Amino acid sequence: MRTALETMIHTLRHRGPDGYGFHVGNGIGLAHARLSIIDLMTGEQPIRNERGTVWTVFNGEIFNYRELRAQLEREGHRFYTQSDTEVIVHLYEQHGDDFVQHLNGQFAIALWDDERRRLLLARDRTGIRPLFLARAAGRLWFGSEIKALLAVLPDRAALDPLGLVQTLSYWGPVDPTTVFRGIESLPAGHLLTVEADRREMLTRYWDWRFPVAGAECGVRGHGSIEAAAEELRALLIDAVRLQLRADVPVGAYLSGGLDSSGIVALASRFTSTPIRTFGITFAEAEFDESVYQDTMVRHLGTAHTTLRCTPRDIGEQFPALIRHVEAPVLRTAAVPLMLLSRRVRESGYKVVLTGEGADEVFAGYDIFKEAKIRRFWARQPDSRLRPRLLERLYGYLENSPVANAALAQSFFGKGLEAIDRPVFAHAPRWTTSQRALRFLSREMRASIGPWDPLDWYEQKLPRELVSWSPLARDQYLEAKSLLAAYLLPAQGDRAGMAHSIEGRFPYLDHRLIEFANRLPPHWKIRGLKEKYLLRRALDGLLPPLIQQRSKQPYRAPDHQSFFHHGAPLDYVADLMGSERIRAAGYFDAAAVGKLVDKCRRGDALGFADNQAFVGILSTMLLDETFLRQRRAAEEQPHSP
């Protein structure tokens, strides 16, 4: 077993370059690659309890470990390290499986109870840290990345058609599905227990939940919107305070938007020296936010480092991203973040705070305002004035989907009669992204069978969702799809851990989410002003230019990153060529060829073409990186 553990853990050295640790017992093998952030001297994992009967390895941070430790010591537990990891084994002794309810953190935990011959796997509430598993040869294998499982289970290097079509539709596979056949993802907010007799039980211990529509806490619950803003500010301050805990310096990402600027402003309250910030700039005005970064840097006096990213940089580093993400992606935006994490590491930092999550928690994206307008429009579907409100959205896009009023009304007007459908808000987005399914080969379509992305997703939703407000329903889907399936894995964990950088997400503190979920919808979107209460909570901390700035989602050049003077990069020409497309078997070679020609000419201006191109290319890179070698080995004639 030790040999298998070493094989697996060595694939994860980028996640933990500071040393390896192992525990092999009767029926269990644990391995850990350490990124030392808390308790640099004695925090090596695996970590045990006093009697050596409970062992754990975990990836992530427990931010409230000091408070938990103090309480556990009062209850008689003895500690032998100063690490946050050790509270896990003692909390389990004290509370059993309910120990996760006491954790404020981001984590993937494996815990072994030697006396009961029992394994417990747990993943944090929102899915910040990944945890994958596979069953083979009577064993349960698990790891923080799929490549660790493939190292000992090479037969699992096969693409799962359902995982692929989910990714092409929803921007990422939906837990527990992955794009590898026979490999699962432990869903966020879940525990998996495996008993001595091999019985398994999967339990949800937390989820995004909202009150029945009309029962949200408004003025009666908080006294006034001013009181609610004060309560929110106090929660934000405490979340940032906890997430600044580390025995190494903590930096912050600064895009220049409201979310990251708010975190940096709050973090500045808890440091005696200017906080180190890091940001991305682009030559293309459509993507560049440097003027806003500069405004915040002058306002707070931060020591700021920028990474200038070009389309060529993105194209050349895209294969490395797919190797880390281990799934296709529909956008290139994770590549600059991966390159920024390298710059952070070169600057001597291991930890950064980020503003991710605020848009899901406080309804910041245009998709929420778009759905609000479409519901308003649906009350008078023949109105010519109501759909004109869409023109107030997507102002940051050079090729806005609402630039042509007639086309916008035709596109966004579809499905207006289904305003009570849970997927109402997401139907336009998923209709756009799933156009990539048209490029699937006949064989791939046949292996999937009849499949409608909207119907399929609705069947996965909790029953009580229909009783929530329309905005609450929209937020739930956004948290479960874009955030959990793409942003946190691709732009979060994998982009950072590619260079051993831990991202921390104060807006995803579960106390903050639970507070926000109880708010009335109009405290989140006032008219068409997004994140209204968050702006009120940050009042006085930010310059007016930032405080009142409308949301501009972080984006990067897509298809144009893969062509130089009209010619595709070498690996793009190879992987997207008809021979390789046919050999892989996932896509129709003739259809892909037409798309490549369109991109080469610079005619792929819309979301659908861009997402299809990036999705197909990243699928081919996944195939090249993880699957092709195994296929070649299977095709080799065997000796008699």
Compute the distance between CA of residue 587 and CA of residue 445 in angstroms, rounded to an integer: 9
Is residue 115 in some structural domain? yes
Question: What is the reported pLDDT for 639?
Answer: 45
Domain check: are 295 and 335 in the same one?
Answer: yes
Does the pLDDT value for residue 533 go beyond 50?
Answer: yes
Compute the Cα dihedral for 455, 457, 460, 465 and give only its sign. Answer: negative
Compute the distance between CA of residue 577 and CA of residue 599 in angstroms, rounded to an integer: 14
Query: By C-alpha distance, which of 105, 92, 121, 104 is closest to 186?
Result: 121
Residue pLDDT, tens place only, 417-440: 889 999 999 998 898 888 889 999
Range list of β-strands (E), 300-451: 303-309, 351-353
Domain check: are 229 and 199 in the same one?
Answer: no
Does the pLDDT value for residue 638 go beyond 60?
Answer: no
Q: 225-231 long-range contacts, Cβ below 8 Å, gap at least 24?
A: 225/523, 225/533, 225/536, 226/536, 228/519, 228/523, 228/533, 229/533, 229/536, 229/537, 229/539, 230/537, 231/515
Is residue 186 in some structural domain? yes
Compute the distance between CA of residue 188 and CA of residue 140 in angstroms, rounded to an integer: 19
Compute the distance between CA of residue 61 and CA of residue 43 in angstroms, rounded to an integer: 12
Residue pLDDT, tens place only, 585-614: 999 999 999 999 999 998 867 888 999 999
- Main-chain phi, psi angles of 125, to 5 degrees: -60, -40
Q: Given 138, 170, 204, which residue is the final one in a domain?
A: 204
Using an 8 Å Cβ cutoff, are 186 and 133 in contact?
A: yes
pLDDT band at 4 (very low <50, low <70, confident <90, very high): very high
pTM: predicted TM-score of the whole model, two decimal places = 0.95
| H or E segment to which residue 252 belongs | strand 250-253
Is residue 135 in some structural domain? yes
Question: What is the reported pLDDT for 552?
Answer: 84
Is residue 482 in some structural domain? no
Q: Looking at 204-213, 396-405, 630-639, which range is the least confident one?
A: 630-639
Domain check: are 307 and 334 in the same one?
Answer: yes
Domain check: are 619 and 515 in the same one?
Answer: no
Residue type at 373?
I
Residue range 5-9: average pLDDT? 96
Is residue 401 in some structural domain? no
**DSSP-based three-state secondary structure for 445:** helix
Query: By C-alpha distance, which of 363, 370, 441, 437 is closest to 401?
Result: 370
Q: Given 204, 234, 264, which residue is the final one in a domain?
A: 204
Domain check: are 536 and 512 in the same one?
Answer: yes
Q: Looking at 200-214, 219-233, 419-433, 567-581, which range is the least confident one?
A: 219-233
Compute the distance between CA of residue 85 and CA of residue 192 in angstroms, rounded to an integer: 19
Query: By C-alpha distance, which of 97, 106, 72 is closest to 86?
Result: 72
Domain check: are 160 and 299 in the same one?
Answer: no
CATH of the domain at 155: 3.60.20.10
Is residue 423 in some structural domain? no
Residue pLDDT, tens place only, 48-83: 999 999 999 999 999 999 999 999 999 999 999 999
Using an 8 Å Cβ cutoff, are 222 and 231 in contact?
A: yes
Is residue 265 in some structural domain? yes
Domain check: are 196 and 67 in the same one?
Answer: yes
Residue range 565-582: average pLDDT? 96
Beta strands across the sheet bearing 276-282: 303-309, 276-282, 250-253, 351-353, 502-504
* Beta-carbon count within 10 A of 187 CB: 18
Q: How far, rounded to the nearest angstrom, does the alpha carbon of residue 537 sit from its chain's CA centroid?
A: 25
Does the pLDDT value for residue 220 go beyond 60?
Answer: no
Q: How many CA atoms lie within 13 A of 351 on its CB side?
A: 18
* Beta-carbon count within 10 A of 379 CB: 10
Q: How far, rounded to the nearest angstrom, does the alpha carbon of residue 156 sit from its chain's CA centroid?
A: 24
pLDDT band at 521 (very low <50, low <70, confident <90, very high): very high
CATH of the domain at 249: 3.40.50.620
Compute the distance between CA of residue 162 and CA of residue 166 in angstroms, rounded to an integer: 6
Between 433 and 491, the higher pLDDT residue? 491
Question: What is the reported pLDDT for 219?
Answer: 56
Question: What is the reported pLDDT for 637?
Answer: 55
Domain check: are 229 and 314 in the same one?
Answer: yes
Compute the distance between CA of residue 81 and CA of residue 72 in angstroms, rounded to an integer: 14
How many angstroms separate the Cα of 630 from the Cα of each of 31, 321, 625, 626, 636?
26, 21, 10, 8, 10
Domain count, the chain: 3
Q: Which ranges constitute the DSSP H helices of 42-85?
A: 65-74
Instruction: Give percent of the chain above pLDDT 90.
Output: 82
Question: DSSP string spanning 73-131?
Answer: HHTT---SS-SSTHHHHHHHHHHGGGGGGG--EEEEEEEEETTTTEEEEEE-TT--S--
Residue pLDDT, tens place only, 324-376: 999 999 999 999 999 999 999 999 999 999 999 999 999 999 999 999 999 99
Does the pLDDT value for residue 469 go beyond 90?
Answer: yes
Using an 8 Å Cβ cutoff, are 533 and 523 in contact?
A: yes
Residue range 401-424: average pLDDT? 80
Is residue 623 in some structural domain? yes
Domain check: are 170 and 258 in the same one?
Answer: no
Domain check: are 166 and 250 in the same one?
Answer: no
Domain check: are 151 and 181 in the same one?
Answer: yes
Q: 523-529 long-range contacts, Cβ below 8 Å, gap at least 24?
A: 523/218, 523/225, 523/228, 524/362, 524/363, 524/368, 524/471, 525/363, 525/368, 525/369, 525/372, 525/471, 528/369, 528/372, 528/373, 528/389, 528/392, 528/393
Domain check: are 165 and 260 in the same one?
Answer: no
Instruction: Give percent of the chain above pLDDT 70.
Output: 96
Does the pLDDT value for residue 487 go beyond 70?
Answer: yes
Q: Average pLDDT of the chain?
A: 93
Compute the distance between CA of residue 282 and CA of residue 308 in angstroms, rounded to an integer: 6
Full domain range(s) for residue 519: 219-361+502-547
Using an 8 Å Cβ cutoff, are 183 and 134 in contact?
A: yes
Q: How many CA atoms lie within 13 A of 534 on its CB side?
A: 36
